Amino acid sequence: MHAALAMMLLHRRRRRQRSVRVAPPPYTYSATAWSLDDWDDTNALQKTRFTKHQLRVLVKALKIEATEWSHRIKPDATMALVVTLMRLSRPRHLADLCDTFGYSGSYLSRVINDVCQHLIEQHHERLQWHPRLRQYKHLRALARRVAATKPRCGGRIWGFIDGHFTPFSRPESDQHMFYSGHKKLHGMVFQAITTPDGLISSLFGPFVGRTNDWGMYNASRVPRRLHRMMPADGPRPMLYLYGDPAYYLSHGVMSPFGPRKQISSRKRRFNKTLSRHRISVEHSFGQIFNLFKSLSFQKGLRVGDQAVAAFFLVAALLCNCWTCLNEGNQTSMKYQLAPPTLEEYLGLGVNDLAGIM
């Protein structure tokens, strides 16, 4: 008892000593005025992944000017979006952004957090389950596109489902919740559904790192949506998602035949064909990390100091916007199916982007 009490007091003493460390001096920066007109398209693409014209379109389409700013700040809408994109595009210190935009690190941090909160509040439901997925005829069209590429799937598969583990630095508290015994890392997981048009049409999360694919599937509302749209005894032909063996015998989800040594050669060919399609989910996650490389820098993501989950959700939304503005990606080219326009994806009116597009 005395030894345990001494260790607790020692831990508290050390923690108290760490908390009273002298803060470093504030970073000195030049208060320069920033304008998007000073950049060319090459500079904008390198720093934000979008051209100048696309940035102006995104500012209006995402309604950045309607953001509720905290701490009485009133930044320019274009600057706020560019700051957020630069923060996500590469692992950067806030000091680098201070020199570019002429504001303090605390000011820019508030801008980034407010923009992320605004985008999640406005598009959270769209990220979880895009409204186009509520239309059976749209799912049928997606399934026909997959069947046109590989007829062996029978024209019943409209999308591909999988989970992804995103690691981050070891948190100071609740380490056991975020620790994945399979990955041997701390992190969080997301469940995504990728459709042949190249979009992440559904993204659920975050879940704590120890959650597996089956746990995410049951916690999400995907089973209930599929049951409501395509009941087992309904008149509509059943359409399926395709996932790994974790989704075995799920309603509306098809998984590989197995085990391998006990199935026929025809079923093995089916598994091989569909595994080449299911890689589209990994391509979608790969596109997020290619466009926004700060999310792949594990040591730079610190839960408690940063909104790590919000960064990932916003990155997925912006990745879908990038796909719409650039008229496709690797997945849409594979299935020869163009993604929707930005107005269709964000549910905007015909005249909402008049004068910009």
Beta 240-242 vs 200-208: how paired, if at all?
A: unpaired
pTM for the full predicted model? 0.88
Residue 299 lies in a domain: yes
Residue 154 lies in a domain: yes
Q: Domain range holding 167?
A: 127-316
Is 48:77 a contact under the CB 8 Å cutoff? Answer: no
Q: How many domains does the chain have?
A: 1
Please give the pLDDT value at position 12. 43
Residue 99 lies in a domain: no
Q: Which of 325, 332, 313, 296 is nearest to 199 (CA)?
A: 332
Is 27:105 a contact under the CB 8 Å cutoff? Answer: yes
Sign of CA dihedral 108, 112, 115, 117: negative
Residue 290 lies in a domain: yes
Residue 259 lies in a domain: yes
Beta strand spans in 179-318 (E):
179-180, 185-194, 200-208, 240-242, 253-254
CA dist 293 and 91 (Å) reads 7
Look at the block and give the residue holding tokens 């345990």: 4
* Tens-digit pLDDT string for the chain (357 aa): 444 434 434 444 444 445 556 667 777 777 788 999 999 999 999 999 999 999 999 999 999 999 999 988 999 999 999 999 999 999 988 888 998 999 998 999 999 999 999 999 999 999 999 999 999 999 999 999 888 876 555 678 899 999 999 999 998 887 888 898 888 999 999 999 999 999 999 999 999 988 988 889 988 889 899 989 888 777 888 898 988 888 876 888 887 777 766 778 777 777 777 777 778 888 899 999 999 999 998 888 888 888 899 999 999 999 999 999 999 899 999 889 999 999 999 998 767 776 666
Residue 356 lies in a domain: no
CA dist 232 and 219 (Å) reads 21
Helix (H/G/I), strand (E/B), else coil: 201: strand
